[in-house]
Amino acid sequence: MTALYFTAFLLFAAGILLAAGQTPFGFLSSVSTMLPRRKVKMKEQIRRSVSPKKPRGIQKIVLDAKNILQVTNRSGKFATLCSVSFALLLAGIFFASLMGNVYLMPVLAIGFALIPFLYILLSSFGYKKRLNVELETALSMVTAEYIRTDDIIEAVRESMDSCQSPVREVFREFVGNVTSVSADVVLALEKMKSRIDNGVFREWVDAVILCQRDRTLKSTLTPIVRKFSEMRWVSGDLNLELYSPLRNFLLMAMILLCSPFLLSGMNADCGNILMHTQKGQVILAVDAAVFFFSLIRVIRLTRPIEFRR
């Protein structure tokens, strides 16, 4: 009955906002701007500028997901991601109220709200692998052409059409900056280096910048590009070990999520204790919190092999 009351309240509130020409997200944003903000003292502002506080917890997850969307040219989907997160937050509250577990409400609300952002973090691993393959192909072509012509602009222009997104867009921007904005090749290379978050790519760009001052350093480009092949070989050999934390977590998560239902099936008294007593509800809330905390940690640990400088 509580779940029905909660659903009716949400529908009633949404209807009032829509009748007034407002959306729920627009209403929340307008309310947040109206709230008074505490003035920050000058000393505190200086301290924050000198040693900025690094984001942690939920804030870091949201910022990482936003950065990944920007890198993959999907910044416009961040608003949709937030909308899905808010809908899942309400779904978590509704599910917990349907079970009659007050302690489970904040856990499911926060956990369900983080699922879209965690999905973006998990999907970024496949994107990084595809990016490494595309960078290996593109940089190999550019390096070979640059060694032959001794002209990095012409080498990038000749290889640009054979590249795939997002490398093609980065190379096209580099050629446009050199030919239309500024003839400073080093400045254009510095801008291009910041367009792709990849350590080997940035090392390659730094080597190309040094080649603009000393042409004899072109021989250093090929060993740098070869690092992509080394990463692919190592990743192929250690693929099972890289994803073993995720695989083990999924196995333990299935056992954790199924154990309350198994206990209820084997003994009805255990199910009643878990569902209708205060101690049982607290145990379910703790189990859900451990599940979501472990999910966040295992996604942080699971990542493709990368070169670190």
Per DSSP, the residues of 65-103 read HHHHHHHTT-GGGHHHHHHHHHHHHHHHHHHHHHHT-TT
Distance separating alpha carbons of residues 291 and 283, to the nearest angstrom: 12
Residue 182 lies in a domain: yes
Tokens at 72, concatenated: 């993959």
Residue 140 lies in a domain: yes
Residue 211 lies in a domain: yes
Looking up tokens 């973090």 gives 121
Distance separating alpha carbons of residues 299 and 60, to the nearest angstrom: 13
Cα separations in angstroms, 74 against 66, 68, 129, 195, 216: 9, 8, 18, 15, 40
Find the Cα–Cα–Cα–Cα dihedral 81, 83, 84, 86, rounded to 10°. 120
Question: If you average pLDDT over residues 247-264, what whole number do you get?
Answer: 77
pLDDT, averaged across the chain: 76
**Residue type, position 68, single letter:** I
Residue 183 lies in a domain: yes
Percentage of residues of the chain with pLDDT beyond 70: 76
Residue 201 has pLDDT above 50, yes or no: yes
Residue 95 lies in a domain: no
Question: If you average pLDDT over residues 234-248, what whole number do you get?
Answer: 67
Tally of structural domains, the chain: 1
pLDDT of amino acid 227: 84
Exposure pattern of 218-257 as b/e (b: 16+ CB <10 Å)?
beebeebbebbeebeeeeeeeeeebeebbeebeeeeeeee
Residue 49 has pLDDT above 80, yes or no: no
Q: Note down the domain range covering 195.
A: 129-237
Q: What is the pTM of this model?
A: 0.67
Residue 179 lies in a domain: yes
Question: If you average pLDDT over residues 275-296, what whole number do you get?
Answer: 84
Distance separating alpha carbons of residues 156 and 188, to the nearest angstrom: 12
Residue 309 lies in a domain: no
pLDDT of amino acid 31: 46
Q: How far is CA 247 from the centre of its chain?
A: 20
Residue 172 lies in a domain: yes
Higher pLDDT, 162 or 31: 162
**Residue type, position 5, single letter:** Y
Position 32 confidence tier, pLDDT thresholds 50, 70, 90: very low
Higher pLDDT, 247 or 289: 289
Taking each helix axis from N to C end, the angle separating 167-176 and 185-193, rounded to the nearest 10 degrees, works out to: 150
294 contacts: CB under 8 Å, gap ≥ 6? 249, 252, 253
